[in-house]
Amino acid sequence: MRISAVSGAGGIVILGAALFVAGCGSANITDELDLTQVTFPNGVKINAETMRSDVELMRGLMFRESLPAGRGMLFIHPKENTFHYWMYQTKIPLDMIWMDSGRRIVEMSLDTPPCTSSSAKECPNYGGNFKSKYVLEVNAGVARKNGLKTGDTLDF
């Protein structure tokens, strides 16, 4: 929230009211802009940043130093196709989970390591063996910890 300078007693009241209203928001993290709550078959919920535009789909988790527990990134492609992902400029080991239009897991790349090469063409591709519409990226180990497997359906 951006607050400009406010002067006088009326300004203090307005400032106080603005801060009060800002603090009264829902504690549900999915109220944040562009977050989707993804529920695993075992009931665990992941709050995923939602990427839809070409720029968002290309940038993904590049340059991030960490990903908080319980968070992820959900890529929503315009239509089902085969999508290869890579770890160029990604600093966090990830589990990548490809899902078809019915949100059924069709492929996973678990414990995918960051690419340490400074050249994008030296970074390996992952996935893209089956048609998918969605890809969920979470911290490495999350899929195994929650027993995810090909054929499971995620809810979002």
Lowest mean pLDDT among 25-29, 140-144, 146-150: 25-29
pLDDT level of residue 58 (50, 70, 90 thresholds): confident
Residue 42 confidence (pLDDT) above 50: yes
Give dist(CA 131, CA 133) in Å, integer: 7
Give dist(CA 126, CA 60) in Å, integer: 14
Residues 6 or more apart whose CB falls under 8 angstroms from that of 47 comprise 29, 30, 32, 35, 36, 37, 38, 70, 71, 72
The verdict on domain 32-145 having CATH code 2.60.120.1140 is yes
Give dist(CA 75, CA 54) in Å, integer: 10
User: In the chain, what percentage of residues exceed pLDDT 70?
Assistant: 79
Q: Cα–Cα–Cα angle for 132, 103, 64, nearest 5°?
A: 70
Model pLDDT, residue 32 = 54
The residue-averaged pLDDT of 79-89 equals 95
pLDDT level of residue 33 (50, 70, 90 thresholds): low
Nearest to residue 109, comparing CAs of 147, 91, 136?
136
Residue 12, burial from CB neighbour count under 10 angstroms (0-12, 13-18, 19+): exposed
Nearest to residue 86, comparing CAs of 46, 114, 53?
114
